[in-house]
Structure 1
Amino acid sequence: MTPRTVVAASGGLDSTVLAYDLARIGHELVLLSFDYGQRHRRELHAARRLAYRLSADHRVVDLGALRSLLSGSALTDSEIAVPTGEYSTETLRATVVPARNAIFLSVAIGAAVSCEAQNVAFAAHSGDHRVYPDCRPEFVRAVQELARTSTAGFGDVGVMAPYVTWSKHQIVEHGHRLGVPFEATWSCYQGLEWHCGDCSTCRERRTAFATAGIPDPTEYMETVGG
């Protein structure tokens, strides 16, 4: 039987590599993206285009009402500036959305039961461990137990996080081998016409390509005359 997997798909680099990875080994994919009142919709548009490339079902979950409940993050509060410059623990604290992955994965687990999927997958990686508690191995173990107990006898859904011990550049290397269209993914927190190149996630993206020794196809503002 072909396994069916719900992928938490942001339209970013990591979740896109994960989707291509699972498609390669024969999973039928349902890509689940979340509109939670974030600063922009560029990532949602990217996820939709990538789902089309993969011939995968794509659904956007409207969680916009959460914006007022999840304030205090640069990703949900327009009054808080997106951090730029050096990629550090202190600058990244401003981008933490409280328990975001816990919320998303709870929804994804329910969706998996409804669409008769056997798995939920998300692309947490080791570069996020120091700042984001819901990207760490202990969180993965906890959400796996949540899925097991909450779907016992009603789908028995498992949770996969195959990159949780990987670095960002390892994901880039793996995606390169898979032929992932990196230029179609979106990472930038600013949501401008092109990647700003200076926010923390743009810097992380650039560093990952440089460390992997793979040409970065991303259009950054300074490279397109912005």
Structure 2
Amino acid sequence: MAGKSVIRKKALVVLSGGIDSSVVLWWARSRGWNLATLSFYFKGRRKKEIEATQKLRKLIGCKENFDLNLSFLDSPKSEESCYIPKRNLMYYGIAASLAEKIQAKCILGGHCKHDGKVFFDARENYFQSLNHLIQSGSKNKRGPSLLFPLIRSSKDEIIKLGEKLKVPFQVTWSCSLDGAAHCWNCKSCKEREDGFKLAGVKDPLYAIKK
């Protein structure tokens, strides 16, 4: 109807600065949603990851951003020991509280198929149970819904989607280290490299590999 304002759905995106959450952020924008982002800070979190988060917010033009310092959390001690107990339960519980406060209808996370193979608390059935818990604990049982658009997608499929959505991959950070550039030797770098190769997409960061 002419002259009538359109009320757009509001989504809270949990943003890390990596490829997956960045693709989810651009995916949400492509659907015309109002966006807010939430990023968690913990002891040992890579500065490059934080910088990537800030750049992504600026590039997409998101004005409503939240940063929460969880100083009691330690980063994983090594690539092989990357499990932080009940991290996703905590993250999405906090996100649900914030989403309800800012009247966001859904909470978006960037978890993919591979995550569910590695972490018990990143499986689709786990998130379904968590979503039910959030709903049942909300006023009138109408709390914000958890949504994971990439939960059944592989890394190369995610990269293909990101390429289509024009995600600025050159800004994202994947490396387990915190150097001036990606090391291309750690597990995370290799997964990134393999993902781009399988997707048939040129990684703008790999182009500057030494």
In the superposition, the TM-score normalised over structure 2's length comes to 0.91
Output the CA distance in 2 between the equivalents of 1:146 and 1:154. 10
Unaligned runs of 5+ in 2: 1-6
Output the CA distance in 2 between the equivalents of 1:100 and 1:47. 19
Kindly report structure 1 stretches of 4+ aligned residues shifted beyond 3 Å.
none
Question: 2:165 aligns to what?
Answer: 178
Partner secondary structure for residue 120 of structure 1: strand
Output the CA distance in 2 between the equivalents of 1:190 and 1:145. 36
Is 1:194 matched up with 2:181?
A: yes
Is 1:117 matched up with 2:117?
A: no
The 1:118–1:37 alpha-carbon spacing in structure 2 relative to 1, beyond 3 Å, is same
Paired AA for residue 53 in structure 2: A
Is 1:205 matched up with 2:192?
A: yes
Output the CA distance in 1 between the equivalents of 2:10 and 2:45. 31
Question: 2:4 aligns to what?
Answer: none
Deviation at 1:196, TM superposition (A): 1.1
Paired AA for residue 132 in structure 1: F
Alignment identity in percent?
26
Greater share of residues in strand: 2
What is the correspondence of 1:19-168 to structure 2 with a 5 Å cutoff? Answer: 19-56=25-62, 57-67=64-74, 75-76=75-76, 80=77, 82-83=78-79, 91=80, 94-153=81-140, 156-168=143-155
Contact 1:48 1:58 in 2 (8 A): no
Question: 2:10 aligns to what?
Answer: 4
Question: 2:3 aligns to what?
Answer: none
Deviation at 1:138, TM superposition (A): 1.2
Partner secondary structure for residue 12 of structure 2: strand
Question: 1:86 aligns to what?
Answer: none
Output the CA distance in 2 between the equivalents of 1:42 and 1:51. 14
List per-residue Cα deviations over 1:128-151 (Å, max 9, x = no partner): 222111211111101211221122
Partner secondary structure for residue 189 of structure 2: helix
Contact 1:112 1:119 in 2 (8 A): yes
List per-residue Cα deviations over 1:50-85 (Å, max 9, x = no partner): 011111122211111233xxxxxxx34xxx3x33xx
Unaligned runs of 5+ in 1: 68-74, 84-90
Contact 1:116 1:155 in 2 (8 A): no
RMSD: 1.6
State the aligned residue count. Answer: 203
Partner secondary structure for residue 30 of structure 1: strand
Contact 1:108 1:120 in 2 (8 A): yes
